[in-house]
Amino acid sequence: MSAVTDAARSVAPAPAPGGSLGQSVRDSLVVAKRNLIRMTRIPEMILFGIIQPVMFVVMFTYVFGGSMQIGSTTDPDVYKNFLMAGIFAQTVTFATAGSAAGIADDMQKGLVDRFRSLPMARGAVLTGRTVADLVQTAITLLVLAVVALLVGWRTGSAEPTNAARVLAAFGLLLLLGYAFTWIGALIGLSVRTPEAATSGGIIWLFPVTFISNAFVDSSQMTPWLRHIAEWNPFSATVQACRVLFGNPGVVESSAWPMQHPVWASVIWSVLIIVAFRTLAVRKYRKADG
């Protein structure tokens, strides 16, 4: 704890040239570094974060692969390529629970109060945490992509693609994951214990991820449920990734997010970041007062 306080004090002096924005960036990087160091000292945090999505890949691929209809086929190979964008998106959004629990744990242990006593940017504590969580999410996503390749997932399985488009898809996934960590930050500031934060950070994700086009062809849903799924921000990123990966699952739809999934994904993610970062920082400042 003293090491953390010393690290925070390194940014405590009067702001260097660059103004408040530069000071905020430096403070955020200090907090992010602290959280990344903590992750390396507790490797099970990353390990358990990897095991769950790997289990989803294996179960959905081999248990449900032959019974899911995508378009007019139940070919398990088609479903395998259809599925992976949904698994990737689910993985980055489930990082929300970790963000919520981590911030709640810091609050409970008094670490956040120590940061509050220092002349540092108020939003830096939350920004640093979410940046560190984004790094962890990127590592998890990389491992998951390797596992997906091992079980037979391939880009360009339905339409031609290229490396730039594939990297853009992973960029959209990380943007969505970062957006959802801000939801986790707000939850972590709003509850009293890490256990409550974990539950509050994950329970609402199940309807968000399952009432979507992640695991099933939304064209097979009843009309009212399909409408919800197609306007789900999560679905926009899943659809954008399928388009960029060149995987099956691009269905005909009159919903704007399904016609322009890449733009819809970026817009939804940016809106979530702006809205929930504002709310989280405001919550932090009120607690500070």
Closest to 183 (Cα-Cα) out of 195, 196, 207, 200: 200
The CA–CA distances, whole Å, from 204 to 101, 181, 195, 200 equal 15, 14, 15, 7
Of 36 and 118, more confident: 36
Give the whole-angstrom CA distance, residue 57 versus residue 83: 8
pLDDT band at 176 (very low <50, low <70, confident <90, very high): very high
Closest to 100 (Cα-Cα) out of 37, 182, 1, 33: 182
pLDDT band at 197 (very low <50, low <70, confident <90, very high): confident
Which residue range is the domain that position 42 belongs to? Answer: 2-10+17-288
Average predicted confidence (pLDDT) for the chain: 84
pLDDT band at 67 (very low <50, low <70, confident <90, very high): confident
Measured in whole angstroms, how far is the alpha carbon of residue 175 from the centre of its chain? 7
For residue 251, what pLDDT is reported? Answer: 66
For residue 220, what pLDDT is reported? Answer: 82
pLDDT band at 97 (very low <50, low <70, confident <90, very high): confident
- For tokens 């945490």, what's the residue? 129
pLDDT band at 9 (very low <50, low <70, confident <90, very high): very low
Domain count within the chain: 1
Total-model pTM: 0.86
Hey, which residues does 73 pair with through a beta bridge? 70
Residue 16 confidence (pLDDT) above 50: no
pLDDT digits (tens, 9 = 90+) for 233-269: 999 999 999 999 999 876 677 889 999 999 999 999 9
